[in-house]
Amino acid sequence: MFLGYLAVIILVSVACEGAEILGILPHPGKSHNLVTTPYFLELARRGHSVTVLGYYKPDNAPSNYRTVLLGPEGAKSGYYSFDILDHKENFAVWNMQLFLDLAQTFSPAAKRVEALKSQLKSKYDLIVVEFFNAESFLGFVESLGAPFIYFHTAELIPWQWTAVGDPLETSYNQNVYTELGRKADFKGRLYNFLETYWLLYFYQTTLRGVYETSAGSSAHPLLDIAKNASLQLVNTHFSFTGSRPVNPSTIEVGGINVPPAKPLPQDIQTLMDSSKNGVIFFSMGSVIRGSSLDTRRRDMFLKVFSELKETVLWKWESDDLPNKPVNVFTSAWFPQRDIFAHPNLKLYIGHCGLLGVHEAVTEAVPTICLPMFADQNFNAQRLKEIGMGFGLDLQQLNENTLGKAVREVLEIPTYKENAIRVSKAFLDRPMSPMDTAMYWTEYVIRHNGAFHLKSPARYMNWIEYYNMDIISLIVSLMLFIIYLIYKMIKAFICTVMPRKKVKIN
């Protein structure tokens, strides 16, 4: 069977050899780039000519891979501190404030495309857009006249579902910014319903205005253009997120960010090999500066870690960590993917961005989440529901709660057992995430846009989609029939039982 799939991949690659592909990456976040760059490099490795509009130039890119910078190149990492915990708003509302800030900051880059056109080709076979604050670029995409697809580095936001006609199903499909799990009661379902449609309203009003102001000229409204994508590649997988209804134009490639593990640097390899009681890895990812942790919380972690027999690797960007216990080792950078593959790793503590979660799921590592923003609460809820971890509220966290949580995951075997179960399902696929992404990308090229994948639902308004006009007609007819029956019964009664006239003197 494997040889059969390999033959299909080879034949597909040959059939699409030499396609001109343009990538548009409007968001400079480093974690997003860690997902998209390997994808575009793989397209180039398979013989396509790839040009990427973005903020990063990959090292050692092949000659058929070009980068056209949208702005200053540099590490867009560590630009948030733990101060962002001080918000008071609802989690979804606060996330939209962050989203609006990103849109206002980076969407105007779309206007720079005109000045960069001399570095681009006039015709492409396919355009791949990271659909994250990308709407202001869609007028330019439409002007090129090529089929385009979306690439999503994380869980979909409600308007990204509806853009391709996928159903929201708010009764059990929680929106990405919720703090609720999938098995919600009436109150939870009501909350998710209101929150999801508020997010859509915010998108259609506030964000839409930012995108239209930031965009260049376009022949059609930007949000109408957004509905024309041939398909979307989504960095999720049902073994983790759960089963959900999607159209054939939504392709899950969850784990595409997880490359094969490489050998560890010798010092880390030796340290982990010698840690007979196991290792805990603590990292807040590429966006949050771990060293910005306030003194109270920093001392809380140090106290809990000092009481453990396990070795702790802590991503800490400062040269100094006061009162560091002997079992705690810090560094501004760790090879996280390769650390996860070491058999002595017993626990991952982190913010639970999707990339780290996919690495934990791949290697069956139990996880404690400290969600900060974006999809992190959603990921924490999923880890809790599948039984391989849970989330803690860093705002309310204290030494006792943290210590109890760490000991629970380390000492109760079901967390590891569930992690192994989920990992097996996550990895059991006919093709790897990257091969799946390659197949469907080249499918769109082979079929000149694959317009047959597009659901009519994406072009319907909500009245048509939910058959509100038909339901209204049926209800009106039923009411009319009831009214007629009422009038007939009344007339019959009046005929059979006429009122007696009372003579009044």
Instruction: Kindly report, residue by residue over 160-170, the tens digit of the pLDDT.
Output: 999 999 999 99
pLDDT: is 315 or 114 the higher one? 315
- Per-residue pLDDT of 368-399, as tens digits, reads 999 988 899 999 999 999 999 999 998 889 99
- CA–CA gap between residue 201 and residue 347 (Å, rounded): 40
**Mean pLDDT calculated for residue range 234-260:** 96
**Mean pLDDT calculated for residue range 75-103:** 71
Sign of CA dihedral 411, 414, 420, 426: negative
180 residue type, one letter:
L
- Per-residue pLDDT of 186-225, as tens digits, reads 988 999 999 999 999 999 999 999 999 888 777 799 999 9
Is 477's pLDDT higher than 50? Answer: yes
User: For the whole model, what pTM was predicted?
Assistant: 0.89
Is 76's pLDDT higher than 60? Answer: no
CA 407 to chain centre: 30
Confidence label for 2 from pLDDT (cuts 50, 70 and 90): very low
pLDDT: is 501 or 380 the higher one? 380
Q: Under CATH, which number does the domain 2-73+89-254+431-459 receive?
A: 3.40.50
Closest CA to 253 of 438, 15, 41: 438
| Per-residue pLDDT, 78 | 45
- Per-residue pLDDT of 36-63, as tens digits, reads 999 999 999 999 999 999 999 998 899 9
In the chain, the percentage of residues whose pLDDT exceeds 90 is 72
Q: At what angle do helices 376-386 and 354-362 cross, to 10 degrees?
A: 20
Is 429's pLDDT higher than 70? Answer: yes
Is 142's pLDDT higher than 90? Answer: yes
Rounded to the nearest integer, the mean pLDDT of the chain is 90
Is 505's pLDDT higher than 70? Answer: no
Is 503's pLDDT higher than 90? Answer: no
The listed range with the strongest mean pLDDT (120-134, 206-220, 276-290) is 120-134
266-427, what's its fold? Rossmann fold (3.40.50)
Phi, psi of 347 (to 5 degrees): -155, 140
Q: Comparing 2-73+89-254+431-459 with 266-427, is the CATH topology the same? A: yes
Confidence label for 267 from pLDDT (cuts 50, 70 and 90): very high
Ordered by start, the domain boundaries in the chain are 2-73+89-254+431-459, 266-427
